[in-house]
Chain A
Amino acid sequence: MYTQPGYYNQPGYGGQAGQLEMGHGPYPSIGAGGTVSPQVQQWFNAVDKDRSGFITAIELKSALVNGQGQNFSETACNLMIGMFDKDRSGHINLEEFDKLYTYINQWLAVFKTYDKDQSGHIDEQELSQALLQMGFRFSQEFISFLTKRCDPKGGKISVDNFIVLCVQVQRFTEAFRVRDTQQNGTVTIGFEDFLKVALSCSI
C-alpha cells in the first residue's frame, strides 16, 4: 500500500523505503471470530459481574490488572470496548468479547517482547524500540514526550497505557497519511478538518 519512501521512518524527510506497512514488527490486529472456547466463556462469566450478558468498560476495568498491580485505565477499557462494540451500545456480548480476548492477549504478548528487562513496564528506550519495530521512527524528543504523557514522573509505561499509546499513534498517523498528499511528511490542514481529526481519532 505505502510503497513510497518511508518518511514516517524519519523525523524529517527521507528515510528508507518499505518500512511503512504495519506488521513489520508485532502489532495486534482484530481477527475474524470463530466458535467461542469454554475458557473464553468462563472468562466472560467472571467479568460479567452483574450477569447482564454484556460486559461494560467498568466491568472490564475491574477484571484487568497491569504489571504494576493496578487495574487497567478507564481510557484503555473504553478504547477496547469501543473497538468491538459495533452497535455503539456501550457494552459487548460474548462473541465480541471473544475477539477482544484474543486482541488483549496479543497485546500482552507484544508487550512482553518489548519489555526487554521483564520489569512489567516499558521505559523510554524500550518504547523507542517498540515503535521502531512497528514502523514508526520518531525523534528522541517525541519519544520522550510520549513517555511523559503516560507517566510524567517515573517514565514507566504500563501495558494498558502502551495499548492506548500505540492505537493513538496508529490512528493519527493514518489520518495524517491521508492528508499528506505530497508524501513529504507535511500536511496543510484547515481548522475544521484539524478539529475533525483530533476529535474523531482520539479516545
Chain B
Amino acid sequence: MTFQSPMPSREFLWDIFRRVDKDRSGYISADELQQALSNGTWNPFNPETVRLMIGMFDKQNRGVISFEDFGALWKYVSDWQNCFRSFDRDNSGNIDRQELKNALTAFGYRLSDDLINIMVQKFDRFGRGTILFDDFIQCCITLYTLTSAFRHYDTDQDGVITIHYEQFLKMVFGLKCWP
C-alpha cells in the first residue's frame, strides 16, 4: 500500500515556503510550521507532531527547516494526508476506532481491540473518541518508533523479548520530547 504523492516543482515549493516563513528568516520554525498546518478544526496543530516532523527533516539539527529540507517535509505531509483520507472512509475529517484499526491492519499490525482503545484514548486530544489528522501522524510515528525498538531486541522474531531494566526504560523513554 502506498500513499506517495509526486514532488512538486521548486517554484511551487518556494512560494509555499515564503508564505510559511512569516518572519522571513529563511527558516521555518516550529511555531511557523504549526500555524501553517491544519488538522481540519480550529484547534492548533498538534505541537508534538510538529516537533516530530521538524526532528525528522531538520538535517542541520537546529530545530528549524531550511528550504533544502522543505521539499521532503512537504511531500511527507502530503503522503500522510493521502493516507489519512484513504482511511477516513466516511470523510468525517477524523478517524474513529474502526478506521484506526483498518489503517493499522493495512500497515501490517495485528493489534487487539484493547490496545486500539488505548491508542484512541492516548492520541485523541479532545476527548471525542476520534483521532484528527495531526494526532494520527503522531500515533503512527509513535507506533513505528516502538515497533522498531522492539524488533531490535526480537532477534528470533517470535514477538517476545527479554530485556534488562535500563534497556526497557530506554525503549519507552525515547518517545516524546519534554521541553
Contact = CB atoms under 8 A, between A and B. Distances in A.
Contacts of B171: 194, 198
A149 B171 CA distance: 13
B51 to A, nearest CB: 10
Contacts of A191: 147, 150, 154, 159-160
B119 interface: yes
A176 B143 contact: no
A139 interface: yes
Interface residues of B, number: 34
B169 to A, nearest CB: 6
Contacts of B162: 186-189
B161 A197 contact: no
A165 B178 contact: yes
Given A188-B162, A191-B159, A73 B115 contact: no
Given A172-B168, A192-B111, A200-B122, A187 B163 contact: yes
Given A195-B115, A195-B143, A199-B119, A190 B172 contact: no
Interface residues of A, number: 47
Query: At the interface, is chain A mostly helix, strand, loop or mixed?
Result: helix
Given A190-B160, A192-B112, A198 B175 contact: yes
Nearest to B61: A152
A194 B161 contact: yes
A113 interface: no
Interface string B165-176: 110111111011
Contacts of B160: 188-191
Contact of A149 (B114, B127, B173): B173
A139 B169 CA distance: 12
A151 interface: yes
B118 interface: yes
Interface of B: 47, 111-112, 114-115, 118-119, 122, 127, 142-143, 146-147, 150, 154, 159-166, 168-173, 175-179
23 contacts: A8-B165, A88-B127, A90-B127, A138-B166, A142-B166, A145-B173, A149-B173, A151-B179, A172-B172, A185-B164, A187-B168, A189-B161, A189-B163, A192-B111, A192-B115, A194-B146, A195-B115, A195-B146, A196-B118, A197-B172, A199-B142, A202-B172, A203-B176
